[in-house]
Amino acid sequence: MKVQFVVPGTPVGKGRPKFARRGNFVSTYTPEKTASYENLVKVAAQSAMNGANPFKIAVSSTITIRLVPPASWSNKKRMAAICGDLRPTSKPDIDNVVKGIFDAMNNIVFLDDKQVVELTVRKEYAERAEAEVEVRAL
């Protein structure tokens, strides 16, 4: 069995937790940009699962992170990037994006991201920014 879905928009790396002082207490919170992106992933994952229970066994995952080339690039360079001749080496960091996506899929696609035993991740340029996620039972 497998589940596959696309998260629209520019992928966001998981941000470090922020701290705020509230009187004598310090509270921790997730940055708004990270929380917002994780909610997008949750909605896409729930839709793809279509009411099915989360995987309870080991899974394999393939994630393709698609970014739009900078508008400042020439058309020739943009087309080379979209054709795959140039690859993105800029932010977001690939591992931080995966962490955010996996955290959002906990208890929806799988019980916990520790179940992922195989992972393939690719970052490339495309016409539209998105993250394509596939999870397969092993």
Q: Coil, helix or strand for 40?
A: helix
Residue 41: domain span: 2-137
Alpha helices (runs of H) in 8-49, residue ranges in sequence order: 32-49
Q: What is the CATH number of the domain that holds 53?
A: 3.30.1330.70
- Output the tens digit of pLDDT for each of the chain's 138 residues: 899 999 999 999 887 777 778 788 887 767 788 888 999 999 999 999 999 999 999 999 999 999 999 999 999 999 999 999 999 998 999 999 999 999 999 999 999 999 999 999 999 999 999 999 999 999
pLDDT for the residue 22 = 79
Cβ(120)–Cβ(43) under 8 Å?
no
The set of residues, in sequence order, having a beta carbon less than 8 Å from that of 84 and lying 6+ positions away, is 124, 125
Q: Rounded CA gap, 3 and 19, in Å?
A: 36
pLDDT for the residue 13 = 86
> How many domains does the chain contain in total?
1
pLDDT for the residue 119 = 97
Q: How many CB atoms lie within 10 A of CB 60?
A: 16
pLDDT for the residue 55 = 96
Q: Which residues pair with 64 in a beta bridge?
A: 122, 132
